[in-house]
C-alpha cells in the first residue's frame, strides 16, 4: 500500500533534511551549511524553525570566526524564541551566547548567560543540558586560569554524567579534565582522562570525537617531548578525519605534525605538511589557523636561514592574526552596544509581555464579569421563570380544584334538580291519578246513586211481576 504524504508533511520533511545537511557541514564547511539554513528561511514562516535556522547560521559564523555576525544572528534567534516562549531553544541560545562572550573575554556576561541557560535546564529537568552548561561555566574558569575551580566543576559534570549514564557527557567531562591537567603539567592524569574518553568514543563509534581525542593525546605527548608517540596518534587522527571529511581537524593535525618535524629538524617534511595545512585552512577561510601556520612556516625558513622569506611569512602571519584580532576587537566594540540594545529589547519585550499579561488579565476579568453577570441574570430569569412556573402550577391546581368542586356542586345541583323534577313529575302524576280517582269515585257514586234509583223501582216492578206471575194461571 502506498501512503501519500501531504504537501505540509513533505515540506516539513524537507526542512528537517536541510537542517541535517546543514549540521553536517557546520564545523568543516560552515559557509556551505549557511546556504542550507538560508534555504530553510526561504521555505518556512514558522517562527520556531526560523529561529532555529538563524541560530544555526550564528553557530556557523562562530566556526568561521565571524563573531560579530555570530552574535547578531544568535541574539536575533534568542529574541524570536523569547517571543514564542520556546524555552528549550532559549536555553541553547543562551549557551552559545555564553560561549561567544567567553571567547571575546567578556566573562561576566558569559557567566550571566550560562546562569540563564542553567535556570531553564533545571526547570525543564534536562540533566544532559545541565551538564553541558556546567561545562560552559567551567570553561569560563579555565580561560580565567582558575584551573582548580574549573577542575572541580568538570569533576561535578563527570559525576552527574556517570549518574545518568550519559556517555557523551562523560567523554566531554573527561576531555575537559584532561585539558586542565595538561595546563597544570599533570600529564599522567591528562593521558588517563583522554584515554578513558577515547574508549567511550570508540564504543559509541563517534569518529569525530575519536579523532579529537587522538589529537589531544598527541598534544600531551608533544608536551612530554615524546614525538614518535605524538606522530603516531596524529596519524591515526588524520586517517579518521579524512574518512569522515573533517578538514579542519586535518589542518590542525598537519599543523601539529609540521611543528614536530621542525623540532625533529625534519625541514622538508615540515614544509610539505605545513603548506598542505595552510592550503586547507585557506579553503576553510579559518583566519586564525592560517596566521598560526604561516608563523610556523616562518620558523621553517628561519631554520633554513632564508631571512627574506622568514620576514615575508612573519608579516603574512601578523596580517592574518591582526585581522583575526581586529574581528575580535570589532566584536568587543560592538558587543556592549549590541548587548545594550538586546537588553533594551529584552526589557521592552518583558514590559510588553507584562502589559499583555495585564491586558489579558483585564480581558479575562471583563470576560469573567460578563459571564458571571450573564450567569446571575440567567439564573435570576431562571428562578423567576421557576417561580412563575410554580405559581402557574399552583394556580392551575387551585383552579382545577375549584373547577372540580364547582363541577361536583353543579352535578349535585343537577342531581337535585333532576330529583326535584322527578318528584314534581311524580307529584303531577299522583295528582292526575288522584283527580282521576276522585272522578272515578264521583262517577261511582253517581252510578251507584243512579243504580240505586233505578234498582229501587225495578225491585218494586220485579216484586210486583213475581206477584202477578204467582197470581196468574199457568197457561
356 vs 464, residue with greater confidence: 464
pLDDT at 67 over 60: yes
Instruction: Give pLDDT tens digits for 218-265.
Output: 999 999 999 999 999 999 999 998 888 788 889 899 999 999 998 898
Is the confidence at residue 18, as pLDDT, over 50?
yes
How many CB atoms are located within 10 Å of the residue 74 CB? 26
Find the mean pLDDT for residues 11-24.
83
Q: Is the pLDDT of residue 330 over 60?
A: no
Cell numbers representing residue 251 in the block: 589542518
- The pLDDT-based confidence of 25 (bands split at 50, 70, 90) is confident
Residue 433's pLDDT is what?
Answer: 76
Q: Looking at residue 445, what is its pLDDT?
A: 75
Residue 2 has pLDDT above 50, yes or no: no
Task: Measure the CA–CA gap between 339 and 329, rounded to whole angstroms.
Answer: 15
pTM confidence score: 0.57
Share of the chain above pLDDT 90, in %: 19
Mind listing the pLDDT tens digit for each residue in 118-154? 999 999 898 888 888 988 898 888 888 898 988 898 8
Note the pLDDT of residue 9: 59
Query: Which of the two residues, 284 and 53, has the higher pLDDT score?
Result: 53
Residue 345 has pLDDT above 50, yes or no: no
What confidence score (pLDDT) does residue 231 get? 92
> Do residues 174 and 192 make contact, with C-beta atoms less than 8 angstroms apart?
no
Query: For cell 502589559, what's the residue?
Result: 355
Mean local confidence (pLDDT), 418-442:
76
Digit-coded pLDDT (tens) for 204-220:
888 888 888 899 999 99
Amino acid at each position: 500500500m502506498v501512503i501519500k504524504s501531504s504537501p505540509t508533511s513533505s515540506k516539513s520533511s524537507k526542512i528537517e533534511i536541510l537542517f541535517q545537511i546543514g549540521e553536517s557541514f557546520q564545523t568543516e564547511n560552515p559557509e556551505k551549511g549557511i546556504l542550507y539554513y538560508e534555504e530553510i528561511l526561504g521555505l518556512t514562516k514558522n517562527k520556531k524553525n526560523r529561529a532555529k535556522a538563524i541560530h544555526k547560521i550564528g553557530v556557523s559564523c562562530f566556526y568561521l570566526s565571524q563573531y560579530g555576525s555570530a552574535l547578531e544572528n544568535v541574539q536575533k534567534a534568542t529574541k524570536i524564541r523569547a517571543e514564542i516562549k520556546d524555552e528549550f531553544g532559549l536555553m541553547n541560545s543562551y549557551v552559545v551566547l555564553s560561549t561567544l562572550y567567553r571567547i571575546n573575554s567578556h566573562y561576566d556576561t558569559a557567566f550571566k548567560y550560562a546562569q540563564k541557560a542553567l535556570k531553564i535546564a533545571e526547570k525543564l529537568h534536562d540533566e544532559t543540558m545541565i551538564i553541558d552548561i556546567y561545562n560552559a561555566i567551567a570553561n569560563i574558569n579555565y580561560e580565567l586560569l582558575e584551573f582548580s575551580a574549573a577542575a572541580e566543576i568538570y569533576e561535578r559534570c563527570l559525576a552527574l554524567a556517570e549518574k545518568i549514564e550519559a556517555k557523551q557527557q562523560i567523554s566531554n567531562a573527561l576531555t575537559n579534565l584532561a585539558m586542565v591537567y595538561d595546563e597544570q603539567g599533570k600529564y599522567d592524569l591528562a593521558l588517563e582522562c583522554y584515554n578513558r574518553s577515547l574508549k567511550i568514543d570508540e564504543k559509541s563509534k563517534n569518529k569525530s570525537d575519536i579523532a579529537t581525542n587522538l589529537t589531544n593525546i598527541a598534544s600531551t605527548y608533544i608536551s612530554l617531548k615524546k614525538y614518535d608517540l605524538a606522530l603516531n596518534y596524529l596519524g591515526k587522527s588524520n586517517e579518521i578525519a579524512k574518512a569522515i571529511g573533517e578538514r579542519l581537524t586535518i589542518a590542525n593535525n598537519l599543523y601539529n605534525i609540521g611543528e614536530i618535524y621542525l623540532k625533529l629538524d625534519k625541514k622538508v617534511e615540515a614544509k610539505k605538511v605545513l603548506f598542505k595545512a595552510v592550503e586547507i585552512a585557506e579553503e576553510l577561510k579559518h583566519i586564525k589557523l592560517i596566521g598560526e601556520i604561516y608563523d610556523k612556516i616562518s620558523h621553517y625558513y628561519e631554520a633554513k636561514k632564508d631571512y627574506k622569506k622568514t620576514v615575508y611569512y612573519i608579516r603574512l602571519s601578523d596580517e592574518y592574526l591582526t585581522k583575526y584580532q581586529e574581528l575580535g576587537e570589532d566584536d568587543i566594540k560592538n558587543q556592549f552596544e549590541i548587548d545594550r540594545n538586546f537588553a533594551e529589547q529584552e526589557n521592552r519585550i518583558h514590559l510588553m509581555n507584562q502589559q499583555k499579561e495585564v491586558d489579558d488579565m483585564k480581558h479575562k476579568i471583563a470576560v469573567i464579569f460578563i459571564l458571571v453577570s450573564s450567569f446571575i441574570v440567567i439564573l435570576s430569569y431562571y428562578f423567576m421563570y421557576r417561580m412563575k412556573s410554580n405559581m402557574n402550577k399552583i394556580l392551575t391546581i387551585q383552579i382545577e380544584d375549584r373547577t372540580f368542586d364547582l363541577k361536583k356542586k353543579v352535578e349535585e345541583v343537577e342531581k337535585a334538580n333532576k330529583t326535584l323534577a322527578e318528584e314534581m313529575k311524580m307529584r303531577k302524576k299522583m295528582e292526575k291519578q288522584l283527580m282521576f280517582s276522585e272522578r272515578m269515585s264521583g262517577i261511582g257514586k253517581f252510578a251507584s246513586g243512579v243504580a240505586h234509583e233505578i234498582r229501587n223501582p225495578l225491585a218494586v216492578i220485579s216484586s210486583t211481576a213475581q206477584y202477578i206471575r204467582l197470581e196468574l194461571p199457568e197457561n
